[in-house]
A and B are shown apart, each in its own frame.
Chain A
């Protein structure tokens, strides 16, 4: 702020600050409040809006119930509302996406931060970034092509003799999970890379010098140090996955509905913005809850993530 003032003078500084506030309050906070307020109001014909029927209620939220379908957890079949089922599966598979991105990003970020030489590093980062030059839509379509029944993935696996019959990849939640992992793995990689880079290499060597095998060094020294990075990566990947609409809209199979698609259906096809808003806030609320629980379990503090 002081720097801004010195560099750009009074006029520009206040313009910057004013624009930032405009963006934050008018374009971000106010619409959200409007939606939150709307989520408690019934969906009425235009003539009735503001009339006696326009009263606050939890009616929109209650719409998540109803239309029960079978759902099996650990082999036990229960009846559950169709939308709740999609809701639970969305949160669950977002968790799966987060876990897989972590499993991919951990060894890779360790390699980049502690093993790769300074000379190859720029090339490696370039290779990581190149896919980002293509839009997310195209990348999702690319995966659609890769995963189709007669597509290159099956062809490759068949040629290598790893499978004898084509696998139906576009089925259930696999295509969404695969594509989300691909889309968001860098959001896990970079915080992890940063965390690992800040680890003094002497600590890794000290552990080894004391007789530690590589896996214990990771478990006791590297992983604990990287925990804040893992946490912020996990929060980003989880939130982005649960809130993603583009990827499931492009690549989803009929048996793998994402909750954002449910919201989209209500808002655009049903034209019921109020119920859509209610569902969106439910998703936000539960995702935040899931993140807080996970942070409790893994003993991560909010201040760690902010670092």
Chain B
């Protein structure tokens, strides 16, 4: 057993951190934050830089144009992306769409699209959710009829920039399935929405008889959906972890140099215990995330269990760390100018992207009991 990342993986992490510190500092995140409603909330240059480094293809097989390094490397990148709050469509393209393609794409679809994702800078996304129907919702309203998709998906993350969407829909026989759709057609209408985290792009997408290709027909829809979710849960957990860790570091830095009552506020036990609790929550989440990474990278059959615990503890840890970081900053923490709220917003965004916590709790117990 070895519960650590390898030296090579740590090197990837260091390089990623360096790149993001230089190319996507919080000033870049803020530039996106301050954009007006007409602008897409994705930072094009940062995304292009990421594409150049080949990150989208890190876990994609060489056979499909990727680097074929594996999921552990992808997890390490996810942690750094989460830490930096980089406003890019990485998660939609890589954790969601690429994995959906791998799992549900026909050979021809994989050969056509995965290389475009791995090295071509193609932005892709997942259109599963229908407003009141979470990712878990079985009652799909999206229809596949006469070779076209009909219906509405909300929210779709990064849809404004996505050229390719994996869409879930019901066919004429009432069976659910996956469809692959190019967005560059008049029958796909994308309406920008505002997220609680304005450094992320979300939209509602309306399909009116939109041309699409059916994906693999021989799949168990629910089971495939489950694997897509589980993989994404592990990868998002690393983003959440990176964000939570950044919050803890902000809090310890700030409280060390702020004086009240003649002493550094970090010397008050109320704050020390707060930060110790943040650390503990992160360590539990980190350990669960590592377990998830291992399970993902080895194709182990306990992925569902590992994904559920990783997701649940990472969501909790990020909420706790982002809100208590604000609290440790006092009035400063409640200003727009300080960065605390960026993490607090991202924490809520990431906690919601894969549906309700209750869904993951039920999924966990159904799996292990």
Whether both chains belong to one complex is answered with no
Interface residues, chain B, CB within 8 Å of chain A? Answer: none
Interface residues, chain A, CB within 8 Å of chain B? Answer: none
